[in-house]
Amino acid sequence: MIQIENVTKTYRRGREEVHALNGLSLQVQKGEFVGILGPSGSGKSTLMNLLGLLDYPTKGKIIIAGHTVEKLKTWQMDILRRKTVGFVFQQFLLVPTMSALQNVMLPMYFNGKQSAAGQAAKLLEKVGLGGRLHHLPSQMSGGEIQRVAIACALANNPEILLADEPTGNLDSKTAREVYTLFKEINRAETTVIIVTHNLELAYLIPRNITLLDGRMISDVQKDSAIA
């Protein structure tokens, strides 16, 4: 599903070159549930941007759903992204003036589906927000917003769900509820990759990859996931 071979990502900060990822290699199989751990600046978000087809690697090779990223043009990346990847961000990122339903319909619209209200409503019911379809983000709690964001991420039925610290701004109870949602999504064969600082959450995830200074320092596969 995902293959990363010796990938380097270098940014320029003034005259200084910053190696956000430094020769990283890993593989993720279809249907896996992976947690990415590591301190700030270890390269977690950079890795997510590359996996989410938002950026190109400086060096190395990335293959996602059979496509070699470096060979793709920007517009091809756009199409592959909208068909393959769903995103959940830490910052409760929704369009503030659109209702929960409209926010979920937005990625569907970009994917060419114009009349998708029924499907969007079903997704919101699936994440437990059947009664909040027409609420604006400002009328919902942080946990509810993240649920809407998860519904958005699932809107185009992606093969890969990426979440960048999705529980970072949530209390522990709500964080656990959100994690349960991810687990349910993963049961339906969607590959789920979560960046997290939350060790309690990481403990529940079957496979944990830890990064430090842009390199992988551990890749732990547990025998069975802990519910």
- Quick one: which of 35, 38, 43, 52 contacts another protein (CB under 8 A)? 52
87: phi then psi, degrees, rounded to nearest 5: -115, 140
Contact flag: residue 114 with another protein (CB under 8 A): yes
Buried/exposed code over 201-215 (b: 16+ C-beta within 10 A; e: otherwise): bbebbbbbbbbeebb
Enter the tokens of residue 132.
Answer: 């909040």
- Quick one: which of 27, 97, 141, 221 contacts another protein (CB under 8 A)? 97
- Quick one: which of 44, 57, 72, 87 contacts another protein (CB under 8 A)? 87
- Of 48 and 175, the one with the shorter C-beta distance to another protein is 48
- Of 34 and 50, the one with the shorter C-beta distance to another protein is 50
Interface with another protein: number of residues (CB under 8 A) = 35
Q: What are the counts of helices (DSSP H) followed by strands (DSSP E) for the chain?
A: 7, 10
Dist. CA 3–CA 26, nearest whole Å: 6
Dist. CA 63–CA 120, nearest whole Å: 30
Stretch that binds another protein, among 93-101, 122-130, 186-194, 212-220 (CB under 8 A): 93-101
Q: Which of residues 121-180 bind another protein (CB under 8 A)?
A: 152-153, 155-156
Residues in the chain: 227
SS3 state at 18: strand
- Of 104 and 129, the one with the shorter C-beta distance to another protein is 104
What is the H or E stretch that residue 126 is in? Answer: helix 117-126
Enter the tokens of residue 128.
Answer: 């437990």
- Quick one: which of 37, 116, 140, 209 contacts another protein (CB under 8 A)? 116
Q: Which residues bind another protein (CB under 8 A)?
A: 49, 52, 54-55, 74-75, 78-79, 81-83, 86-87, 89, 93-98, 102, 105-111, 114, 116-117, 152-153, 155-156
